[in-house]
Amino acid sequence: MLVRQVDHQDQCGLMADAWGNGDFARLDPWEPVALAARLHDEGWRSWEEAPEVGPDGAPVDFPDVDRATHVALYRESIAGALARDRRAGLLVSMHGQGLYEGRRGLDPGEPTPRTERPPAVRAFLEEQDRVQARLRAELGDPGLDAWASAAYRLLQAWDVLSLYLTWRGLAAGREAALPQVPRRAGDPGLELCLRPAGPLACTCDPWPFSTGEVALPVAARTIPARRYASHDDLREELAAAPWRTLQLTARPAR
């Protein structure tokens, strides 16, 4: 079963739409946060129209894309977001950069130092330092740091929740956690615990959404688990595979 990054980001957009209650406030402004959720992986669209096969004959999974291609995809995501909104562009830049740097402290352990990164990755990270510094100067908002920190952590919470539902967490019956999820700007955040609640649902505790249950459908296709002889072999199989909607759900713990 394959879920594209661009459909995953649509699911993150549904999370943004449903976010907020008496304990978890929406940030001000909110629109750039929701827009970043819907655009943070947009650069993958062209690659996913022509996905590739690895040496083992399996479709290349998203963590296994070569680094030069990976940073190019995130440059495209960042440029697209910046064309729509500077705050959204700042968040998508932080997201792309954070993937290489421990998600800005959200992941355990120490990230690989920049000096030990491949040249393409090091150049990308330094470039995003400059992009973010320029945007912060242009926006000139004294409250921007607190807003951006909280908005980035929300984006990461939605990203990880979506990956939990569609990738390796829920299907394996595992529990997971979303760290440092903010309740407002300036808040250090809470840990949200995810637990399976059936094959297509999970619980989230504490509950951050505005309704008692959140429908999180996502588009997917299923292809045979076989060795693919070439990129074209995979692409032909995908083109013939019907789309289906996974009716995924998040609900509060009882």
Q: What's the pLDDT tens digit per position in 83-100?
A: 999 999 999 999 999 999
- Cβ count near 202 (within 10 Å): 23
| Model confidence band, residue 108 (pLDDT cutoffs 50, 70, 90) | very high
Q: Is 148 exposed, middle or buried (0-12, 13-18, 19+ CB in 10 A)?
A: buried
Cα 216 off chain centre by: 14
HSE, CB side, 13 Å, CA atoms: give it for residue 16: 26
Mean pLDDT value across residues 158-171: 96
Count of structural domains, the chain: 1
Q: How confident is the model at residue 61 (pLDDT cuts 50, 70, 90)?
A: very high
Residue 77's pLDDT is 98
Please say if the pLDDT value at position 214 is more than 90. yes
Rounded to a whole number, what is the distance in angstroms from the first to the last CA of the chain?
A: 30
Domain housing 144: 5-252
pLDDT over 90 at 168, yes or no:
no
Q: Count other C-beta atoms under 10 Å from residue 95's C-beta.
A: 25
Residue 193: pLDDT band with limits 50, 70, 90? very high
Alpha helices (runs of H) in the chain, residue ranges in sequence order: 5-18, 31-39, 44-49, 67-84, 86-98, 102-105, 119-139, 144-166, 231-240
- CA–CA dist 80, 207 (Å, integer): 32
Percent of the chain whose predicted confidence (pLDDT) is above 70: 100
The whole-angstrom distance between residue 210's C-alpha and the CA centroid of its chain comes to 21
- Average pLDDT of the chain is 97
Q: Is the pLDDT of residue 118 over 90?
A: yes
Integer Cα distance of 89 and 97 in angstroms:
12
- Taking 90 as the threshold, does the pLDDT of residue 117 lie above it? yes
Q: What is the mean pLDDT of residues 176-185?
A: 98
pLDDT at 254: 81
Would the pLDDT of 204 be above 90? Answer: yes
For residues 36-51, average pLDDT:
97
